[in-house]
């Protein structure tokens, strides 16, 4: 959805309605995906600032669109879903990068996310 939003220039509402229209996914998964998307869009400037600080020698405009949007959503999840272990968020991002981007993207995405993860406040895992 983030890729469609950025590349198409459509409103978040339009993207959600068109992207999810023909998807056959669990209702809870759909709500989570929509929350991640809408939250990421709402905080895109803050997330982009974090990415700029932690991606040496890379301007956002030079990043592959898939990588840029993958980093955005992973960062949003790292910041707002402390119940999901950071290692899980990062691993999922790396799997998506392996599938939808090129081989160099995996190392790049991992490096940026790991650098940001190290600066996140420590949260106590649920018992």
21-51 pLDDT tens trace: 878 888 999 999 999 999 999 999 999 998 9
- Correct CATH for 45-127 of 1.10.940.10, 3.40.50.970, 2.60.120.200, 1.10.150.300: 1.10.940.10
The domain limits of the chain are: 1-42, 45-127
- Whether 116 and 50 have beta carbons less than 8 Å apart is answered as yes
Chain-centroid distance of CA 3 in Å reads 10
For residues 76 and 30, give the distance between their C-alpha atoms in angstroms, rounded to a whole number. Answer: 17
Instruction: State the Cα–Cα distance between residues 23 and 48, nearest whole angstrom.
Output: 29
Q: What is the pLDDT along the chain (127 residues), one digit of tens a residue?
A: 999 999 999 999 999 989 888 788 889 999 999 999 999 999 999 999 989 888 877 788 888 899 999 999 999 999 999 999 999 999 999 999 999 998 889 999 999 999 888 887 655 443 3
- The confidence score (pLDDT) of residue 122 equals 54
Q: Which residue in 105, 104, 103 sits closest to 69, CA to CA?
A: 105
């Amino acid at each position: 959805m983030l890729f469609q939003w950025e590349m198409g220039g459509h409103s978040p509402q339009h993207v959600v309605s068109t992207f999810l229209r023909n998807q056959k996914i669990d209702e809870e998964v759909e709500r989570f995906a929509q929350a991640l998307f809408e939250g990421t869009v709402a905080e895109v400037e803050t997330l982009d600032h974090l990415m700029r600080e932690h991606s040496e020698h890379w301007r956002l405009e030079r990043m592959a669109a898939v990588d840029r949007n993958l980093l955005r959503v992973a960062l949003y999840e790292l910041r707002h879903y402390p119940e999901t272990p950071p290692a899980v968020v990062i691993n999922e991002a790396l799997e998506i990068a392996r599938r939808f981007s090129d081989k160099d993207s995996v190392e790049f995405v991992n490096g940026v996310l790991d650098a940001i993860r190290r600066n996140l406040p420590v949260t106590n895992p649920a018992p």
